[in-house]
A and B are shown apart, each in its own frame.
Chain A
Amino acid sequence: MSHKITRKMDLNSADFYVEVEAPLVAERFKAGNFTILRSNPQGERIPMSIMKAEDGKIAMFIKKLGKTSMELYKTLDTFENVIGPMGNPIDIKKYGNVVVASDLVCGHAENYAICEALSAVEGNHVISYQTYPTADEVYPDEVLADKVCDEYHLTTEDGSRGEEGHYIDLLEERLEKGEKIDVIFAGGALPNLQELGEMTKAYNVPTIVTVRQIMVDASGMCGACRVFIDGEMKLACIDGPMFDAHKVDWESALRRPNMFVEKETVATKLCKETGRC
């Protein structure tokens, strides 16, 4: 059964928004879960973060990079499969002062979902940080997390809109001043999540981050998504996708996603030449 795409729009020069009919996923989605997409009957199984689920549909932010996503962006109006929800949701409970931070496409989707879930819990003060490189690349207002949190910070690295700087530096300033933050949830660029973890460790702030890895079955049968947490092998698909940033073996987590880059470049090139994307 294929899934109808009900809305597509550009988010900025690199990313786009997709809304698709997926009743089972929408009904059972909880913040932290992801979905597995296959764009066509020959498609790859790709994990994707979910921004929100409503009326039998889910919304996602996707990067226009690689064959599958380019094809989706340009030519497709259905998905072959939208599977899940997969992975573990976050623990939705009272934490106190919660920071939710992101600086990249999937991270921004998670940011929205986590803020929405945690701000509904009494006793949480949910602070959202969304960092973009520059004003022109900031997503449209309707998808920003300002509507679903208690305190919102839009930041750009060049200061052209909102506060100036990356969320890591801005958070460090707050911690340095002795502000109490009970937990941080973050998603986005992996190297930055490593840096965030190194920073918050010094302040002893629990930091839970999405360790995005390549997946195949996403049900614990292949080991493609293996990550090492405190020296122990874990599978991002069934044990994650979020882990304690202070315990992740970042060297391998940063390296593994590059395993197929060479091949992916070939596929994208061919796809472009044949006009599929």
Chain B
Amino acid sequence: MAKLKPRVPVREQPVEERIHNFDSVPYGYNEEEAIAEAQRCIQCPNPTCETACPVNIKIKDMIHFIAQKQFKEAFLLTKEDDAFPACTGRVCPQEDQCEGACILVKTGQPISIGKLEGFAADWARKNGIKEEIKVPSTSKPKKAAVVGSGPAGLACAADLRKYGYEVTMFETLHQAGGVLEYGIPNFRLPKDIVEYELDALEESGVEIKLNHTVGQNIGFDELQEEYDAIFLGTGAGAPRFMGIEGEKLNGVYSANEFLIRANLMKASLFPDWDTPIMVGDKVGVIGAGNVAMDAARTALRLGAKEVSIIYRRKMDFSPARAEEYEHAKEEGIIFQELVNPVKIVGTDRGWVKGVEVVNMKLGDKDSSGRPRPIPVEGTEHIIEIDTVIEALGTMPNRLFLSKAPELKTDRKGIIITDENLMTSIPGVFAGGDAISGGATVILALGEGRRAAKAMHDYIEGK
């Protein structure tokens, strides 16, 4: 066997520059780099990468097309299984999915599948190549409503349109896109990419009604009356707080508030944009997943002098994407591991001045399969910070659920669905974070599409 070439590295914005802006960190592959990387693929007879992909993208053939310079074919093939390859190429945890299952992982040099996927999609966008959408013409199209415009809702709406439905999407915010717009920062997922997909959806004939909160200014019962089928892609957007002393102090944010201010409301452009954000000199982010990394790196870009991730386990057990952890380290984020906040302490004027933490040690495995962190008594000490950002995960949004009491959920408010993604209400389907409590973009996209198919079958009486 010929000697394996190493991975083609992805060019990136230099650290000193990027910590002062919100532009994309990776530049992505150019054509030569993409071809060189694609040529490294050994085209296994049984591509394990494909089975490890939550939506089973035909990765092997996609890579083959890129290696042959057939970029259009690569893009269209990817599009068959993945509604937004330009997004997932950037945000999927590839090391746990396709790249983690790549046969070359043993060499430490798996194929850069995510970057190739992103390349094909970017190439298509730049060259005006679009998937051709044929909406079947029916004299009296059936009507479908999609609640929430995150990846689950977007993927569902796109497919419902392809099946010929008249689709109306309802979004509570003044901007569509869900977490892709308000949560994930531009330096990871440039917003022009998301907006390109939104435009394509509208061009295909999906009507997006912004500022419409189902259950608040439009009733769930009204939707049930007017539409033949409904998809709930309401996400899991409600923030969770630790519930410790001192959380009422000024200077404490949920990661959601911090990121919504920074991304959706463009607080980085304050005062040209109106929404302010206060970032102290020393910021502590509690938690260590993707959301925590995003909040920490955003705080740095907003001018914080020192940003720490405060985590009760060790980073080896963090659920963050490997690339984000690497980027965060390069950018100088400090990692305080094996410490757990017990209270936030404040100044006389009610502002945060520090967080009291206790050291932790790792015990036996818990239900998540990770070692359970156990507090070490008597090790309490204070980390001096003036801004606390809590990134402890989110919960399903109460607003909608409280107005739909007939919808079955579990104790936490996660919507219960059957194997066809249908909820306890016939004709009402759900997917994405609303049914998982918080997962990934690719799963949300996959479920959106699966639900569209199930809705179509349901309406056709299959």
Contact residues of A with B, CB < 8 Å?
Answer: 24-25, 28, 38-40, 42-45, 67-68, 80-81, 83-86, 216-217, 219-224, 226, 228, 233, 238, 249, 251-252, 255-256, 258-260, 262-264, 266-267, 270-271
Contact = CB atoms under 8 A, between A and B. Distances in A.
B274 A221 contact: no
B398 A67 contact: no
B172 A219 contact: yes
Interface of B: 172-174, 211, 213, 216-217, 237-239, 241, 243, 248, 250-251, 253-254, 256-257, 260-261, 265-266, 269-278, 350, 397-399, 402
22 contacts: A25-B217, A42-B272, A67-B274, A80-B174, A84-B217, A216-B261, A217-B172, A219-B172, A219-B173, A219-B216, A219-B397, A220-B399, A221-B256, A222-B256, A251-B350, A255-B350, A258-B250, A259-B250, A260-B276, A260-B277, A266-B271, A271-B271
Taking chain A's interface residues, is the majority helix, strand, or loop, or is none over half, making it mixed?
mixed
Most buried by B among A223, A226, A238, A270: A223
Contacts of A44: 265, 274-276
A38 B174 contact: yes
Dominant secondary structure of chain B at its interface with chain A: loop
B248 A85 contact: no
A201 B270 CA distance: 43
B394 to A, nearest CB: 8
Contacts of A262: 278
A220 B271 contact: no
A87 to B, nearest CB: 9
Contact of A222 (B217, B257, B276, B398): B257
A223 B248 contact: no
A48 B264 CA distance: 20
A39 B274 CA distance: 10
A68 B274 contact: yes
Contacts of A221: 237-239, 256, 260, 397
A107 B273 CA distance: 28
A263 B241 CA distance: 25
A195 B235 CA distance: 40
B270 A267 contact: yes
A218 B172 CA distance: 9
A266 B261 CA distance: 17
Nearest to A270: B271
A251 B348 CA distance: 12
A85 B219 CA distance: 12
B256 A267 contact: no
Contacts of B257: 216, 222-224
